[in-house]
């Protein structure tokens, strides 16, 4: 047997970049600007270039990125925010923290992302009921696959709503000739260590082309103060990303394009081995998957997982329960079942995936999976 297969590999890049990271962290110990150091604006400038968005703002987490984006539009009580029910809990938490009402929408079984037809139906229902004001759609780019932005944006525009991309799992992906960060009015992403661009701690970033929106976000991130940071001009929070985490992400950025290419290569090899034999999450020809995770859909998932584990192949389930079935969000469960969310919660299985897999490991995972089906 060769090297054990890891689900994620956080140690190899840390080893590769060790000297560079040490140099950057020591520079911060020397200049002493632990908050708001030059690393922050350097990272923001590089992220804007990378995504093609006009503005990038570094923040304390992906969750703060979502909350600040919602606060920036004054989303609050009486507002409806449409979100897919098959996502991480942070998407719904952010909405509820503002006092707005999450409206859970079903997803598509192939893309695992919000289904535009179901979104349109949910928007019409909320308008007909008249109790809530439709304000915003949060489209999640699940596992790294961009949501159907052209269709979602058209539906949102018709109802006078904005679109916020929860791209926590998808930085590096794209659609057409644009990258995540420039696919809709607002984008939030996360630097949680296992995301495509991970820090060594918590972190996140936000993207927009709109100058006024960017000014509001900058203010909210810094306790709601004015540009001179003297007067509170709105309600804000401490949503800053510190200099050290910015330095780590700057170092990770130096290998990010290479890592993304390797992710795409590995995904292509998995698809070559598994395509036609097992259902694989897939988008359209315009979508550029960031391959944050590689996810298949299998029957009898618990047994398949157990068999993989016996053979030394780790796997993971994202997510075993749609959000409207969690205690904290059950009050917002829609009257009609969200059938595809329930189906994916029973079938989705993520395979070992990171840029440092070998071809031999991918083949071993694929062969083991096919035998376990």
Ligand X SMILES: *Cc1c(COP(=O)(O)O)cnc(C)c1O
- List residues near ligand X by CB under 6 A: 61-63, 87-88, 90-91, 140, 166, 168-169, 190, 192, 202, 204
Integer-rounded Cα Rg, in Å, for the chain is: 21
CB of 195 to ligand X, least distance (A): 6
Q: Where does residue 131 rank: exposed (0-12), middle (13-18), buried (19+ CB within 10 A)? A: exposed
Please name the residue ranges forming H helices in 136-242.
Answer: 149-158, 211-221
DSSP assignment of 248-288: HHHHHHHHHHHHHHHHHHHHHHHHHHHTTTSEE----TTEE
Cβ nearer to ligand X, comparing 196 with 340: 196
Q: In this chain, which residue has its C-beta nearest to ligand X?
A: 62
CA dihedral angle for residue 73, residue 45, residue 195, residue 161, rounded to 10 degrees = 20
Given a contact cutoff of 8 angstroms between Cβ atoms, the answer to whether 82 and 119 are in contact is yes
Burial (Cβ within 10 Å: 0-12, 13-18, ≥19) of residue 190: buried
Q: Which is nearer to ligand X, 168 or 246 (CB)?
A: 168
CA distance 84 to 341: 9
Cis peptide before 186 (omega within 30 of 0): no
Q: For residues 196 and 208, what is the distance between their CA atoms, to the nearest angstrom?
A: 20
Minimum gap (Å) between residue 191 Cβ and ligand X: 7
| Closest CB 62 distance from ligand X, rounded Å | 2
Minimum distance from residue 94 beta carbon to ligand X (Å): 8
In this complex, which beta carbon is closest to ligand X, that of residue 62 or of residue 355?
Answer: 62
- The nearest distance, CB 324 to ligand X, in angstroms, is 16
For ligand X, the closer CB: 243 or 245: 245
Q: Which is nearer to ligand X, 352 or 369 (CB)?
A: 352
Which CB atom, from 204 or from 355, has the smaller least distance to ligand X? 204
Q: Which is nearer to ligand X, 91 or 361 (CB)?
A: 91
> Shortest gap between Cβ of 30 and ligand X (angstroms)?
29
N-to-C CA span, the chain: 22
How far is the C-alpha of 164 from the C-alpha of 152, rounded, in Å?
10
Strand bridging mode 204-208 / 186-190 = antiparallel
Distance of closest approach, residue 310 Cβ to ligand X, in angstroms: 29
Tell me how far apart the alpha carbons of residues 158 and 333 are, in angstroms, rounded to a whole number.
25
């Amino acid at each position: 047997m060769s090297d054990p297969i890891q689900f994620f590999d956080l140690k190899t890049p840390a080893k590769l970049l060790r000297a560079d990271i040490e140099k950057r962290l020591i520079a911060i110990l020397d200049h002493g600007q632990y908050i708001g150091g030059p690393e922050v604006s350097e990272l923001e400038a590089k992220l804007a270039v990378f995504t093609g968005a006009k503005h990038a703002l570094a923040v304390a987490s992906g969750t703060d990125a979502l909350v600040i984006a919602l606060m920036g539009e004054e989303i609050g009580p009486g507002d409806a925010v449409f979100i897919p029910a098959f996502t991480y809990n942070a998407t719904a938490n952010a909405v509820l923290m503002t006092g707005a009402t999450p409206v859970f929408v079903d997803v598509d079984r192939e893309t695992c992302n919000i289904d535009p037809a179901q979104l349109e139906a949910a928007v019409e229902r909320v308008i007909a009921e008249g109790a809530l004001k439709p304000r915003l759609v949060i489209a999640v780019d699940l596992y790294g696959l961009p949501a159907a932005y052209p269709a979602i944006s058209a539906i949102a525009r018709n109802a006078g709503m904005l679109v916020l991309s929860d791209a926590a799992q998808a930085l590096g992906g794209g659609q057409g000739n644009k990258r995540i960060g420039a696919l809709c009015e607002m984008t939030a992403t996360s630097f949680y260590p296992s995301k495509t661009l991970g820090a060594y701690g918590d972190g996140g970033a936000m993207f927009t082309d709109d100058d006024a929106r960017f000014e509001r976000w900058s203010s909210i991130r810094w306790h709601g103060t004015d540009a001179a940071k003297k007067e509170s001009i709105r309600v804000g929070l401490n949503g800053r990303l510190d200099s050290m985490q910015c330095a780590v992400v700057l170092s990770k950025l130096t290998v990010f394009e290479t890592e993304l290419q390797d992710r795409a290569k590995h995904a292509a090899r998995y698809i070559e081995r598994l395509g036609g034999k097992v259902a694989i999450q897939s988008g359209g020809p315009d979508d550029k998957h960031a391959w944050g995770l590689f996810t298949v859909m299998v029957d009898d998932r618990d047994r398949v997982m157990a068999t993989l584990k016996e053979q030394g192949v780790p796997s993971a389930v994202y997510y075993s329960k749609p959000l409207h079935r969690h205690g904290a969000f059950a009050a917002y469960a829609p009257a009609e079942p969200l059938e595809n969310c329930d189906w994916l919660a029973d079938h989705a299985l993520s395979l070992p995936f990171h840029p440092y897999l070998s071809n031999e490991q991918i083949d071993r995972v694929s062969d083991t999976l096919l035998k376990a089906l």
